[in-house]
Chains A and B, each alone.
Chain A
Amino acid sequence: MRDALGAVQSVLVLGGGSEIALTTVRKLVGDRCRTVVLAARRPDELAGTVAELQAAGATDVDTVAFDALDPASHEKIIDGIFEAHGDIDVVLLAFGVLGDQKEFDADPASAAQAIAANFGGAVSAGLAVAHNLRKQGHGTLVVLSSVAGERVRKDNFVYGSSKAGLDGFAQGLGDSLVGSGARVMVVRPGFVHTKMTEGMDAAPFSTTPDVVADAIVEGLHKRRDVVWAPSQLRYVFSALRHLPRPVWRKVSDR
């Protein structure tokens, strides 16, 4: 159960390889979290992480095979996790691919697949999670969105549009869960230095997984609906959102 100060006792990560998600999990385990389930495409690669989390105090750590591109499997896998581990206080929906806009331009089918993972997979997984949270009467689904979806730019509009879809889905799902005890928290990080963005030029207000994880933990404590990381991006994007298209094209051109 989540306590009065936002500490949680169990967490499920969908996209168990995500640096932001794992940094968040480490912080939760450092407090009261004792149950951790990591669902990832290649769970065997997470043995080191499992050992590390156990050493940090988690008593029930498990890994599960999960493929974002196989939506037909999601309901069964997620139901199985809730069945096996009991209540889950927080679910981090953290999978996604960034991709390269030029490659997407050259191979339209790969672009559709990125959308299928980032958006389609999140829809089937998110709905399956919501069903379980509704049933248990509490719990927070944390959806890792991105400022890239807040206003899509031409340099990565496939990724950006997948996050725009995801963000809208998460907000709608959150609204539909009001009164059920379950909640959705949308997280919108800016440019985060991770292995996913290695070698890319950092955007203004770039940040680290640690900062995003702190923002998530703080958001859980304060029961926020939306979290920006770093927090200034909320104000930056409230201006950027309204720029005329020609100006936005210039500002976002990098």
Chain B
Amino acid sequence: MTRELLTGWGRTAPTAADVVHPMSVDELAAGLERPPERGVAARGLGRSYGDPAQNAGGRVLDTTGARGLIDLDLNRGVVTAAAGTSLHALMRWLVPLGWFVPVTPGTRYVTVGGAIANDIHGKNHHGAGSWCNHLLAMTMATPAGGKITVTPQSDPDLFWATAGGVGLTGLVLDATFQLRRIETSRLVIDTDRTRDLDEVMALMTEGDDRYEYSVAWIDLMARGASVGRSILDRGRFAHVDELSAKQQRDPLAYHAAAILPMPFVAPPKLLNPLTVRAFNEVWYRRAPRRRRGHVATIPAFFHPLDAIHDWNRGYGPAGFLQWQCVVPIGAEETMRHIVEAFSASATTSLVNVLKRFGPGNEGMLSFPQPGWTLSVDLSADAPGLARLLDRLDDEVLAAGGRLYLAKDSRMRPSTMAAGYARLDEWRAVRRRVDPDGILQHDLGRRLGLV
């Protein structure tokens, strides 16, 4: 156990905790024993942008040592994996066997435990829902109940309080979930480059249901008539006969590696308004106006940023944050206004994504709800950023939307409470399973959840 300074992926608010590195599921469960005064938090691969995997002055359990497959049913595609198993590892093992994870976010470097704690979503949300829609059971350790198996039938309250419950209702030790069958490891992609926001929203509304995966990259540096211009990528997994003769020799081939390390001494601020504007321009121009049936690999389609190790260091020592909101279908006007506000501001944003969500699930603090979600990367030292985001938070709430906890590092406690109507119900479950408040983290303290 060592005292370590920890931050989230945005590298913004470091705090110190005693970090423990359990090497098995049993050792992980033991991490709740003899808790220190400031409690215990679980930390996976640290991809949440803010502070849910930090516990200032307390104990942090690094879950990544508790990894591996516990059970695998290749006929039904049901797998049980330890909480610290990464989606990267799962894909390396399972894709060649013809199975894919039910949901993947924009990075494969997240753990199964983190996927549950944030009820992560991906490009297939409009059809498949979020991670916990595919979660069949989990083994948890709770302060009050010890080691228990939780399914949606055995204890629906605890199950759905844990889905998106940012790790504050117990330690997830392992999870059993349903995989998706694939014939090949490649996708067939249709691309549309749109002039503006209206066009991309119209295309998604009209055609998303024909595709399993859909997402738009949106240029928030463009101004004037081009505000909200986007590249819409939609696709599905390819059948064997759609691959080239060479690809057909090994249709389930899967190679994923980080190819470009960030330079050890990165320029202080590689991603500044100048470079980002230029990048956005080039990125937009190089996309085809309209392309059908392009074949792409899993990493190229789902995880383009994973090709660069530690890309989060590109924003320099000030760090960065992500802001992700969802507003209901019908609140397109609010979404347009938000996009205009970012475009008109002095902020620098590189990785901006627009997606149309399908129905949400029963997760009490689960983020997705039917509507439009926009996620925006922002350098933390952009002038006027704090006020801009506070103002946009209010517009999101007024439209009946909310912000994603996995991305949050700065919202007001009242913004959280106003966006999540089932917060009190969630608190009641937490009181039942953790009456002494042993599970703690910085995000919980900041938003008044603990």
Hey, which chain A residues are within 8 Å of B386, CB to CB? 5-7, 31
Secondary structure of the A contact surface, majority rule: loop
Bound together, the chains give a CA A7 to CA B50 distance in angstroms of 14
Minimal Cβ-Cβ distance residue in B for A6: B386
Q: Is B3 an interface residue (CB 8 A)?
A: yes
Minimal Cβ-Cβ distance residue in A for B411: A3
Bound together, the chains give a CA A3 to CA B15 distance in angstroms of 11
A231 CB, nearest partner CB in chain B, Å: 16
CB pair A222 B381 closer than 8 Å: yes
CB pair B57 A4 closer than 8 Å: no
CB pair B380 A4 closer than 8 Å: yes
B47 CB, nearest partner CB in chain A, Å: 15
A to B contact number (C-beta, < 8 Å): 71
Report A112-153 residues with CB < 8 Å from chain B CB: 135-138
Interface string of B93-124 (1 = CB under 8 A from A): 00000000000000000000000000000000
A31 CB, nearest partner CB in chain B, Å: 7
CB pair A4 B3 closer than 8 Å: no
CB pair B410 A4 closer than 8 Å: yes
Bound together, the chains give a CA A138 to CA B51 distance in angstroms of 12
Bound together, the chains give a CA A116 to CA B358 distance in angstroms of 67
Q: Is A179 an interface residue (CB 8 A)?
A: yes
Hey, which chain A residues are within 8 Å of B56, CB to CB? 1, 87, 136-138, 181
CB pair A7 B16 closer than 8 Å: no
Given A87-B445, A181-B57, A32 and B13 contact (CB-CB distance below 8 Å): no
CB pair A3 B16 closer than 8 Å: no
Hey, which chain A residues are within 8 Å of B341, CB to CB? none
Hey, which chain B residues are within 8 Å of A182, CB to CB? 16
CB-contact partner of A179 in B3, B58, B321, B389, under 8 A: B3
Given A136-B38, A137-B38, A179 and B5 contact (CB-CB distance below 8 Å): yes
Interface string of A161-184 (1 = CB under 8 A from B): 000000000000000000111100
Interface string of A1-37 (1 = CB under 8 A from B): 1111111010000000000000000000001100000
Number of interface residues of B (CB under 8 A): 30
CB pair B13 A4 closer than 8 Å: yes
Given A135-B57, A136-B57, A4 and B409 contact (CB-CB distance below 8 Å): yes
Bound together, the chains give a CA A7 to CA B321 distance in angstroms of 14
Bound together, the chains give a CA A9 to CA B321 distance in angstroms of 19
Number of interface residues of A (CB under 8 A): 20
Report B361-384 residues with CB < 8 Å from chain A CB: 380-381
A151 CB, nearest partner CB in chain B, Å: 30
Given A4-B321, A9-B446, A31-B386, A181 and B15 contact (CB-CB distance below 8 Å): yes
Hey, which chain B residues are within 8 Å of A180, CB to CB? 3, 16
Q: Is B10 an interface residue (CB 8 A)?
A: yes
Report B1-39 residues with CB < 8 Å from chain A CB: 3, 5, 10, 12-17, 38
CB pair B381 A137 closer than 8 Å: no
Minimal Cβ-Cβ distance residue in A for B14: A181
Minimal Cβ-Cβ distance residue in B for A87: B445
Minimal Cβ-Cβ distance residue in A for B16: A181
Bound together, the chains give a CA A2 to CA B319 distance in angstroms of 14
Minimal Cβ-Cβ distance residue in A for B380: A4
Q: Is B442 an interface residue (CB 8 A)?
A: yes
Hey, which chain A residues are within 8 Å of B38, CB to CB? 136-137
- The 5 nearest A-B residue pairs measured at CB: A181-B16, A137-B57, A137-B56, A4-B409, A4-B12
Q: A1-B442, A138-B16 are in contact. List 8 more A-B contacts (CB 8 A).
A: A1-B445, A3-B13, A4-B12, A4-B409, A5-B410, A138-B15, A179-B5, A181-B16
